[in-house]
């Protein structure tokens, strides 16, 4: 935990020079934390901000009960409870089940001074938060609900450029077209069996060989070891780079260097990240399925971002998705309204006291 990012100097139109204090709150899982951190970083690009990452660790008993029964108090945290004390932040961005009790509680503890943003569908009444930002395929609506296509993420042009420069010695020499392959794994409604991995390996090999390009493949923490081994052994002789967990993950560099991106359909994060590049994105089929995730993929396809993968690499263009930035602007808009309301409230209270 600690200071993660500080925004640049105020952008044109900034009305307040004091940096916003933003807490990013989750259980620390990469996919969950990066959504909240991505939104915080997008806000910091628009207004000076100090971002602090807070990771929750509930005791084992608390992880087995519904989130609505978790105590809204940091004193029950297994560790790090001292990190959840005043002074409270200006903005609180929570994500995931573990964050819900404290996201709800901090509005009361801060006496409304902290503006609470909750990502995803909290499966709780949206009125318990100041703003809920779910993926549009969840179908959540409300006055303080701001749906976006996909999920917030950390992909920006600047981050891609930096990553590409960092890994230039490995990537620059690869032939075009460069095919980035992002492999997920086991999720609630999806799986990656050995048979599916073998089928994916065949179609990926066909595409890379036919286009005469290079393969850049990375895996998720959720990728089953048998599937990972099958894909690696089947494709390791192709020109390119299969990341083997040695050194830093070249995920962002692969996105930056790619001419086309292949991503498994189990994840909402990876297609959203790939869609921010404006490059052709193909969806790789997995075992299983889920109606709400299917709605997300249909929306991406309707927007011209993705196509099903059949073993051939084509080229097309679309306007890169900027949903994280759009959400950041909405957070700041609503936060400004809240700040104005608080000023009016204090002014009214002073006048009443003087009277």
Sign, Cα dihedral of 222, 228, 229, 232: negative
In the predicted structure, residue 148 carries a pLDDT above the cut 60: yes
In what order do the strands lie in the sheet containing 49-55? 2-6, 49-55, 20-26, 91-94, 115-119, 131-133
- 3-state SS of 141-156 is CCCCECCECCCCCCCC
Q: What is the CA radius of gyration of the chain?
A: 22
Domain spans of the chain?
A: 2-149+324-354, 157-308
* pLDDT level of residue 167 (50, 70, 90 thresholds): very high
* pLDDT level of residue 348 (50, 70, 90 thresholds): confident
| Residue given tokens 């029950």 in the structure block | 76
| pTM of the full structure | 0.88
CA torsion, ordered 197, 199, 205, 208, to nearest 10 deg: -100
- Among residues 247, 282, 220, which one has the least CA distance to residue 163? 247
- Among residues 193, 264, 201, which one has the least CA distance to residue 225? 193
Give the residue-averaged pLDDT of 89-100.
94
- Angle between helix axes 194-211 and 225-235 (nearest 10 degrees) is 30
CA–CA distance, 349 with 355 (Å, rounded to integer) = 10
Provide the pLDDT for residue 59. Answer: 59
CA–CA distance, 76 with 57 (Å, rounded to integer) = 9
Neighbours of 316 (CB within 10 A): 11
* pLDDT level of residue 61 (50, 70, 90 thresholds): low
Rounded to whole angstroms, what are the CA distances from 168 to 172, 195, 225, 279? 5, 35, 29, 20
Residues 216/183, Cβ–Cβ less than 8 Å:
no
Provide the pLDDT for residue 183. Answer: 97
Provide the pLDDT for residue 76. Answer: 54
Provide the pLDDT for residue 225. Answer: 96
The reply to whether 2-149+324-354 and 157-308 are identical in fold is yes
Residues 185/286, Cβ–Cβ less than 8 Å:
no
User: CATH homologous superfamily of domain 157-308?
Assistant: Glycogen Phosphorylase B; (3.40.50.2000)
Average pLDDT, the chain: 89
Share of the chain above pLDDT 70, in %: 86
Classify domain 2-149+324-354 by CATH architecture.
Answer: 3-Layer(aba) Sandwich (3.40)
- Among residues 63, 89, 86, which one has the least CA distance to residue 76? 63
> pLDDT by residue (tens digit) across 199-251?
999 999 999 999 999 999 999 999 999 999 999 999 999 999 999 999 999 99
In the predicted structure, residue 172 carries a pLDDT above the cut 60: yes
């Amino acid at each position: 935990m600690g200071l993660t990012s500080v925004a640049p100097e105020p952008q044109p139109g900034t009305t307040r020079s004091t940096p916003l204090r933003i807490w990013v709150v989750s259980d620390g899982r990469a996919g969950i934390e990066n959504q909240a951190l991505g939104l915080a970083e997008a806000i910091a690009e628009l207004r000076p901000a100090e971002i602090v990452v807070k990771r929750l660790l509930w005791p084992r008993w608390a992880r087995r009960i519904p989130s609505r029964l978790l105590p809204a108090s940091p004193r029950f945290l297994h560790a790090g409870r001292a990190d959840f004390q005043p002074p409270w932040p200006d903005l609180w961005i929570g994500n995931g089940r573990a964050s819900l009790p404290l996201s709800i509680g901090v509005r009361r503890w801060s006496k409304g001074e902290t503006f609470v943003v909750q990502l995803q569908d909290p499966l709780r009444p949206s009125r318990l938060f100041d703003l809920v930002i779910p993926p549009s395929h969840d179908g959540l609506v409300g006055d303080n609900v701001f749906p976006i296509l996909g999920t917030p993420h950390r992909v920006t042009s600047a981050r891609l450029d930096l990553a590409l420069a960092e890994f230039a010695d490995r990537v620059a020499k690869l032939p075009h077209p460069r095919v980035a392959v992002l492999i997920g794994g086991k999720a609630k409604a999806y799986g990656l069996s050995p048979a599916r991995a073998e089928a994916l390996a065949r179609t990926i090999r066909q595409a890379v060989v036919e286009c005469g390009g290079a393969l850049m493949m990375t895996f998720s923490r959720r990728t089953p070891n048998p599937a990972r081994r099958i894909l690696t052994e089947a494709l390791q002789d192709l020109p390119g780079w299969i990341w083997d967990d040695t050194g830093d993950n070249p995920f962002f560099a692969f996105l930056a260097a790619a001419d086309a991106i292949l991503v498994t359909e189990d994840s909402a994060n990876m297609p959203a990240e790939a869609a921010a590049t404006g490059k052709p994105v193909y969806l790789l089929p997995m075992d299983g399925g889920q109606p709400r995730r299917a709605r997300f993929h249909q929306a991406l396809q309707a927007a011209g971002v993705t196509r099903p993968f059949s073993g051939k690499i084509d080229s097309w263009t679309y306007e890169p998705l900027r949903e994280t930035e759009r959400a950041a602007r909405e957070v700041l808009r609503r936060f400004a309204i809240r700040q104005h309301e608080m000023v009016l409230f204090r002014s009214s209270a002073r006048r009443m006291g003087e009277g």
